[in-house]
Structure 1
Amino acid sequence: MCDVLTMDGDPPSTTEHTPSQVSCGQYSGRTVCSTRRNTPYRKTPRSRRLGLLGSKSALLEKTPPSPRHAPSFKGLLKKTWKLYRLSPLYNFTPTSSHLRRYGTSLSVLVGERQRKSLITETKDLVRSLISPYRELSVGPDDPECIQILITGKNLKDIPTTLVRGFMFGVELEDSLVSPDNSHFKHYPVLMVKGSVSLCKALTDWLESKFDCRVSALTFSSVDLSWMVAMWSGLSKGMKKKPVELMYSVPEEVEGLKKITYSIDSEDCQRLWDIIHTSNSNEFTEEEVKAFMDCLQSHFYGCFKVHLSSMFLTRIGTSTVYVGSDGKIKFFTDSGVIPVLRHISELSVEKSKIL
């Protein structure tokens, strides 16, 4: 079941492994245990949705919709995106005329920063384009997803998209803004890809233009535990990737920074099917705890290391990789909507706590 173990501070093994084989690096005999336990499951909701509301067919393991109706997210796949949490935008109006004016305003800001040499990754800025992106608008009460593009020429003088971003909330059950409040629009998540300086220009423009707050959307070990437990079994019919758990080691352990635990996807699928009721659209707190306890107990049996004493910092499944720093990478079209629905839900929850 345990496919690969790699530990920072040791030379990587060059031995090939079958799914049933196990390898363990050497770490000078140090014990990787701590009295801390990072599993406060009581702080999260008792259950989470696997699919969309009122639609069991939306579960990833079900038959996907016909190609005529299935959205294509080709431009989102196999790219690393950065997630941000957005507070409600004041006086944001998503009409065509307003979006064109917003694009012009953003272009002016980026142009000014170019002239001040605060942006050096590009030259000859063409324009900023802000437009609807309907594929990420799912529920009847969802705000229409907004796509933001900054295009121009890179340092090699090649026309390209320099920044691509999306403001969205996928099938929201809750919002920070009352439906009666017409002065604010709430897009819980901003997802962007581009150079650091241009992305900073975009977030600064949003904050100054719409009197909002843009902050990094990060995930705790508990958040990531829910994600890997919910999505590990939803991969039938997809290209198999190992389920990956990356843990950071407590600082008191010298010479070792992280442990990467890879599990064969078929083993995870069998475990998931045993723990979860297959026809249920809800994944419960008890199921999350049972799933993670099984994986961590197996690891302890192999290596005598308590993963529960460490911090889960990245998870990977056949559909998506997610890091505690808010970086995300999609691998399948069918995984985009369920994953971003859950991310939207988490963003709203975290905004209410603060």
Structure 2
Amino acid sequence: MMLYLTTFPYQESSCIMGRRDVQIHFLTLLVLYFSVMEERNSTEETPRNNALAQRRSKSYRQSMRSCVEATHLAYTSGLLTALRIPRSRKAPKSCDITKQVDPDQVALLVKKEWQLSYVTPLYQFRHTQLKSYSKQLSAFMVSEKQQGLAIEVGQELGFKVNFSVVLGLAETDKDAETVFIQILSKQVFSAKDDAPKVVWSGWLTCVNGDLDYLRSLPLEFVSLPLFCTRGPESLTVLVKSWFENIFDCCFGPLDINSTNLQWLASLWTGCHPTINIQYLKLVWTLPTLPPMDVTYTVHPQDAWELWDSMRQVDTTEDSISIDEVTGFIKGLQSHFFRHFRIDLSAGSLMQISTALGSSHHSGKIKIASPNYIPTILQLLTECALLKMPI
């Protein structure tokens, strides 16, 4: 409840009530107040009302506790939110991921552009049933094709689906192992000995997910919130439809907002002393008529020196603070304004790219180097969890 107090200029001529009248009026209010409180107390002291009050209080506590347990990430029930901006994130560390992940599986993830989505927890999903899921999804696609569904792949004999596990990406015991999906097809006019061609790829992952959220999930649910796809949209729709029918989940688009693009720009710039990023290119969209896109390419050494100057003394080596990210982007914008008199802060950052990878506001990302896959996937996992409706 908000209490608003309004003061007015005091005017002696407007005071028409004497001191005695004020005292009587005040006593009358006190009598009315205590009479009402006495009546309320007498009503609440009955055993039946006490029992009702206790039950209501207990029910309220339980409902509030369930709401709190379901909203560890500052969600609002039924709404999509992304209000929680961490003060710091882990800085990327160069590591040979092929020591913990099969190099052939790593090659499936890197140097390809993926379209991002979020997916709610999967009900009764089991990593031990992947062969069965492969057959079920294949049968589902054949059934949908026989019903006349247009699948924009070409003239194909049929579809074969492969589910597999990418071991080694999970960083905590609560992270579910990554699941990779491939859809293969053999063209009608291909030779008999030709191998089926991969026409669609996708994977579900969770890397260093929020522990409070993961612990709050019932045992029947598996959280793989980040869904990355590559291939015809018609096949993506089919795969999502099958998952929704079998595992009682739902999908949604996962865009990468300006703040997270700034994080990625800072993370990749921070890699420069270890791995040369070769260039830093940023694309802003300015709210002009018509809208104007500004492409800003920065020399890698200049970008690194600016980033290094923004590093705070009290920041640990394995983290990057939001203040450092903001200062880095503002430094780039100030430099651009001095030369071209264009204020990039008035627009929105839409795209970033380096030799290590690229990302677009629409939810597209390409990871060109395997060295920093865990860090990037951790950021995207966090974005997916924050985007998810409750």
The answer to whether the superposition gives a TM-score over 0.5 is: yes
The answer to whether the 8 A contact 2:208-2:378 is kept is yes
CA distance in 2, matches of 1:135, 1:67: 9
CA distance in 1, matches of 2:170, 2:188: 35
1:266 to 2:298 alignment? no
1:44 to 2:77 alignment? no
> What secondary structure sits across from 2:323 in the alignment?
helix
- Name which of 146, 156, 161 aligns with 1:128: 161
Structure-2 change in CA distance of 1:71 and 1:318 (3 Å)? farther
TM-score norm. by structure 2 comes to 0.71
The answer to whether the 8 A contact 2:152-2:232 is kept is no
CA distance in 2, matches of 1:330, 1:220: 18
The answer to whether the 8 A contact 2:157-2:188 is kept is no
Matched with 1:94 is 127
**Letter of the aligned partner of 1:280 in structure 2?**
E
> What secondary structure sits across from 2:116 in the alignment?
strand
Matched with 1:276 is 311
**Letter of the aligned partner of 2:136 in structure 1?**
S
Structure-2 change in CA distance of 1:68 and 1:221 (3 Å)? closer
CA distance in 1, matches of 2:251, 2:189: 31
- Name which of 99, 106, 118 aligns with 2:150: 118
What's the CA shift for 1:140?
2.4
What's the CA shift for 1:139?
2.5
What's the CA shift for 1:304?
0.4
- Higher RCO (Cα < 8 Å, 6 or more apart): 1
What's the CA shift for 1:194?
1.1
Matched with 2:219 is 182
**What's the C-alpha RMSD, in Å, of the aligned pairs?**
2.4
Give the share of equivalent positions with the same residue, in percent: 25
> What secondary structure sits across from 1:204 in the alignment?
helix
> What secondary structure sits across from 1:136 in the alignment?
coil
**Letter of the aligned partner of 1:103 in structure 2?**
S
What's the CA shift for 1:324?
0.9
CA distance in 2, matches of 1:180, 1:223: 26
Q: Which has the larger radius of gyration?
A: 2
CA distance in 2, matches of 1:312, 1:292: 10
The answer to whether the 8 A contact 1:320-1:335 is kept is no
CA distance in 2, matches of 1:71, 1:316: 27
What's the CA shift for 1:153?
2.1
The answer to whether the 8 A contact 2:101-2:168 is kept is no
Q: How many residues align?
A: 299
TM-score norm. by structure 1 comes to 0.78
- Name which of 165, 171, 174 aligns with 1:141: 174
Deviation sequence 1:310-342 (CA, Å, 0-9, x none): 011111133221111110011111021211111
Structure-2 change in CA distance of 1:290 and 1:178 (3 Å)? same
Unaligned runs of 5+ in 1: 1-40, 52-58
What's the CA shift for 1:351?
2.1
Structure-2 change in CA distance of 1:307 and 1:213 (3 Å)? same
Matched with 1:328 is 365
Deviation sequence 1:105-146 (CA, Å, 0-9, x none): 111121123231421314122411112111422322210111
> What secondary structure sits across from 2:211 in the alignment?
coil
